[in-house]
Amino acid sequence: MDPVPALDEPLKKVLGPATAKVMAEHLGLHTVGDLLHHYPRRYEERGQLTHLADLPMDEHVTVVAQVADARLHTFASSRAPRGKGQRLEVTITDGSGRLQLVFFGAGVHKPHKELLPGTRAMFAGKVSVFNRRLQLAHPAYELLRGDAEETVETWAGALIPIYPATAKLESWKIGKALQTVLPSAQEAADPLPESLREGRGLVTLPEALLKIHRPHTKADIEEARARLKWDEAFVLQVALARRRHADAQLPAVPRRPRPDGVLAAFDDRLPFTLTEGQRKVSEEIFADLATDHPMHRLLQGEVGSGKTLVALRAMLAVVDAGGQAAMLAPTEVLAQQHHRSVTEMMGELAEGGMLGGAENATKVVLLTGSMGAAARRKALLDLATGEAGVVIGTHALIEDKVQFHDLGLVVVDEQHRFGVEQRDALRGKGKQPPHLLVMTATPIPRTVAMTVFGDLETSVLDQLPAGRSPIASHVVPAADKPHFLARAWERVREEVDKGHQAYVVCPRIGDEEDGAKAKKKSPEDEAEKRPPLAVLDTAEQLARGPLAGLRVEVLHGRMQPDDKDAVMRRFAAGEVDVLVATTVIEVGVNVPNATVMVIMDADRFGVSQLHQLRGRVGRGSAPGLCLLVSEMPEASAARQRLNAVASTLDGFELSRIDLEQRREGDVLGQAQSGTRSSLRMLAVIDDEEVIAEARVEANRIVAADPDLERLPALRTALDALLDEEREQYLEKG
């Protein structure tokens, strides 16, 4: 029998079908338990009692007063042209001053009957000025009868919960529905083990639910929040700890490099020495590869910190041990780019089986969806026979037809572009689960890494390789100071005159198909009434205007793969001065001679995305310059975001700013998982300590009791929080 039947009760049985339907469709609430976990966003206080003589403007006040007089006026208006409009004016006094109350339309009938001269009542509302007199429009009121003192105190001091609501269901209606289901909170099974709860001085779950929905004091709210945050952090960390525990039981083939193999030969031909950070992270990875259960490691590195080199060394170690390594890239442009840079770095070591190849060389194969049939057949054969030790590709690698001889390591670049099923499919290609290395250039604050990638061990590369140049970033306020934009194009010309190259990035492509999409924009965009700047239009205007005479080309996601590759090759070879592109260049594109980037409508991009884009310049010995062009006004949030990006090159600092400005749900990738974020109380950035402590407790409990047999209530909470889909999703972050 289910231990918590009361909380599983469908809302339609308790609240009636109409309310339940709105709650299900608009708020995703289906059961009594769902509704109990729909917490207030904030609390209104009716406020301390105020004397009428010293009412503050524009604030919510509560006053106790007596009705002096009440008059009903009729008037003509656009809604009631025949003089049928009604306005009730009530004057109240508390002996120290007078105040006018107004009620309009259908809202006049009840107060007209109840607020008779001489009646005492409490009135709550927001003070405004009309005709130079203070007034309350449509105040809430409660009549006082008999011994009024006690009522006054409790009513005025009450904290009124304000719920996340919808146009179809106001906050106070949600509050009334909660009043109905609140008694069921007593039956809530407590997922926290008692020793943990008592050790941390947390209230029980039923008590927390009562206090969050019906607090008497602010201390009640704090106690409830502290407890409910712990639940969320702890249940999530238990799910991740169980996932890590299960992964540790899986078998994997240990892969150790040979002392005289391809890795040693590769290290010998490197023209530079590895940074301290690259050496340290490589050692962590090699230690993982040598174990007999699969590595699950997240490699975080600042833009340009040399992650690809670290990943390539891991791949070569696996080739040395007789296995194959696959690198999965999110786009064809990036897969081709990785293939090019890997074969360049390896030289003759990438020419296995060919004349002139080194003796311990292997083959490096590219596999993408747009390859010709013959090239594809050849690549597939090299994979199946084991001839190719290293394969680089897009999700084409995951298709059923693709067979590996002995897949030992999967490297996923920029993991947030890959869905769960894709990674699972690739893991299923090995005889035993392959080792997994996930690379991201989006720095992730420690707590988010613990929450989102809780099943991955984390390595961080935070040193830039020697010879990398600093990047100066500036905001160009195109609307306030148009001459700044003119100067930006002059700077581009100056860099090209010095023999360098430039990127110009725009938010959209600009062909008609895209124009239709551009109409559905955020409110911020609506306000501007201007679609985001487009690659095709901008390239044409630049080539005719400020950059006339320079070699300007375009690159965007809807070009044919061969055309994209050709443009990138020409740009890399220095045959193009200015590349006008969409964000296809955001990740991994490496042209050391490109020194300047102009990002048009920079306010349309997220903080992390701007940081990624900026990392494409300053990759050689000449200093980089990034110009963030925006028409947003100085005081806007968008401009503050751009100022933050311009002021620091520290990706971890920017990722904090980014997180504070986005909803937490985005962080937990609910956009990808399709389920409501399980985090309603927990703020990933602010509640760092809770998350870290919950992780320690979760590890301890799972180590002692992996199936949670002694903690049935925790198991139930886990099932509720992580339906099958979400647990699978969490597994991969």
pLDDT of residue 689: 82
* Residue range 306-321: mean pLDDT, rounded: 92
pLDDT of residue 725: 43
Does the pLDDT of residue 266 top 50, yes or no?
A: yes
Q: What is the pLDDT of residues 92-139, one digit of tens each?
A: 988 878 899 999 888 888 899 999 998 888 787 788 888 778 888 888
What's the N-to-C CA distance of the chain in angstroms? 33
The amino acid at 60:
H
Contact predicate 438/593, CB 8 Å: no
Q: What is the pLDDT of residues 135-166, one digit of tens each?
A: 888 888 878 775 556 566 666 667 778 777 66
- Least reliable range by pLDDT among 325-334, 399-408, 454-463, 625-634: 454-463
Does the pLDDT of residue 673 top 50, yes or no?
A: no
Q: Is 566 exposed, middle or buried (0-12, 13-18, 19+ CB in 10 A)?
A: middle
pLDDT of residue 170: 67
Contact predicate 363/389, CB 8 Å: yes
Q: Is 590 exposed, middle or buried (0-12, 13-18, 19+ CB in 10 A)?
A: middle
Q: Quick one: what percent of the chain has pLDDT higher than 90?
A: 24
Close Cβ partners of 123 (under 8 Å, ≥ 6 residues apart)? 62, 63, 64, 65, 92, 101, 136, 139, 140, 141
Q: What is the pLDDT of residues 689-726, one digit of tens each?
A: 888 888 889 999 999 988 888 888 888 888 766 654 44
* Residue range 574-602: mean pLDDT, rounded: 85
pLDDT of residue 88: 93
pLDDT of residue 583: 82
Q: What is the pLDDT of residues 415-458, one digit of tens each?
A: 555 555 666 676 677 778 889 898 887 667 666 666 666 667 78
Cα 357 to Cα 347: distance, rounded to the nearest angstrom: 9
Does the pLDDT of residue 208 top 90, yes or no?
A: yes
Close Cβ partners of 237 (under 8 Å, ≥ 6 residues apart)? 450, 454, 691, 694, 695, 697, 698, 699
Question: Burial code of 665-681, b = ≥16 C-beta within 10 A, e = fewer?
Answer: bebbbbebbebebbbbb
The amino acid at 154:
T
Does the pLDDT of residue 305 top 60, yes or no?
A: yes
What is the maximal distance between C-alpha atoms in the chain?
A: 107
Model confidence band, residue 672 (pLDDT cutoffs 50, 70, 90): very low
Mean pLDDT of the chain: 81
Model confidence band, residue 312 (pLDDT cutoffs 50, 70, 90): very high
Does the pLDDT of residue 62 top 50, yes or no?
A: yes
Does the pLDDT of residue 268 top 50, yes or no?
A: yes
Model confidence band, residue 668 (pLDDT cutoffs 50, 70, 90): very low
pLDDT of residue 525: 43
Does the pLDDT of residue 521 top 70, yes or no?
A: no
pLDDT of residue 83: 59
Contact predicate 315/390, CB 8 Å: yes
State which of 350-364, 421-435, 556-570 shows the largest mean pLDDT.
556-570
* Residue range 203-230: mean pLDDT, rounded: 92
pTM of the full structure? 0.63
Does the pLDDT of residue 203 top 90, yes or no?
A: yes
DSSP 8-state assignment for residue 462: -
pLDDT of residue 151: 63
* Residue range 631-652: mean pLDDT, rounded: 82
pLDDT of residue 563: 87
* Residue range 359-369: mean pLDDT, rounded: 87
Q: Quick one: what percent of the chain has pLDDT higher than 70?
A: 80
